[in-house]
């Protein structure tokens, strides 16, 4: 079988940040790398689950709602994939991600979609952990620019 694009990225050189992973027609996939690959520190399941709920809720309620296609965690637990329509510029994506991180870092209250009816694993959440993730990734991308979205 043909090797998929994400397996062609040299993970020994990959740093934390925002990268364009691929473009498929009008959909752009961003690699939101929150942990350095293979460095021994990974996203905790419950915290990343809560981060996902808050991220998706915020992004889909933003002014970019019609451009947001998908938000989801990577199986390796080093980050998330964020898929948007190409109607958003890299600068707009970066701005939205900064807003997402600030929102999550300061979030207090009920976790959206956190009931047995709405979620397949509603008991597995960690709001304090998600808040730490938001604050940490917000620091990483604080000065991120569109030029930095290309893999090295």
CATH code for the domain of 120: 3.30.1360.80
Whole-model pTM: value is 0.94
pLDDT at residue number 10: 81
Domain count within the chain: 1
Report d(CA 148, CA 14) in Å as an integer: 12
DSSP letter at 7 equals: G
Q: Which domain holds residue 80?
A: 14-140
Q: How confident is the model at residue 2 (pLDDT cuts 50, 70, 90)?
A: confident
Q: Is residue 6 part of a domain?
A: no
Q: Is residue 68 part of a domain?
A: yes
Report yes or no: 45 and 130 within 8 Å, Cβ to Cβ: no
Written as six digits, the tokens of 24 are 């498929």
Q: Is the pLDDT of residue 6 over 80?
A: no
pLDDT at residue number 112: 97
pLDDT tens profile 89-148: 999 999 999 999 999 999 999 999 999 999 999 999 999 999 999 999 999 999 999 999
Report d(CA 11, CA 114) in Å as an integer: 33
Based on its alpha-carbon atoms, the radius of gyration of the chain, rounded to whole angstroms, reads 15
> Helix, strand, or coil here: 82?
strand
Q: Is residue 147 part of a domain?
A: no
Q: Is residue 83 part of a domain?
A: yes
Q: Is residue 149 part of a domain?
A: no
Q: Is residue 8 part of a domain?
A: no
Q: Is residue 76 part of a domain?
A: yes
């Amino acid at each position: 079988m043909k090797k998929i694009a994400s397996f062609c990225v040299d993970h020994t050189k990959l740093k934390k940040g925002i990268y364009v992973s691929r473009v498929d027609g009008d959909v752009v996939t961003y690699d939101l790398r929150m942990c350095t690959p293979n460095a021994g520190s990974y996203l905790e399941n419950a915290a990343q689950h809560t981060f996902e709920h808050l991220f998706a809720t915020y992004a889909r309620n933003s002014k970019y709602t019609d451009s947001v296609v998908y938000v989801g965690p990577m199986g390796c637990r080093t980050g998330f994939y964020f898929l948007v329509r190409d109607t958003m510029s890299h600068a707009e994506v970066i701005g939205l991600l900064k807003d997402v991180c600030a929102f999550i870092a300061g979030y207090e209250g009920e976790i959206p979609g956190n009931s047995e009816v709405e979620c397949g694993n509603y008991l597995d959440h960690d709001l304090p952990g998600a808040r730490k993730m938001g604050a940490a990734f917000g620091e990483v991308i604080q000065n991120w620019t569109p030029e930095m979205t290309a893999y090295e």
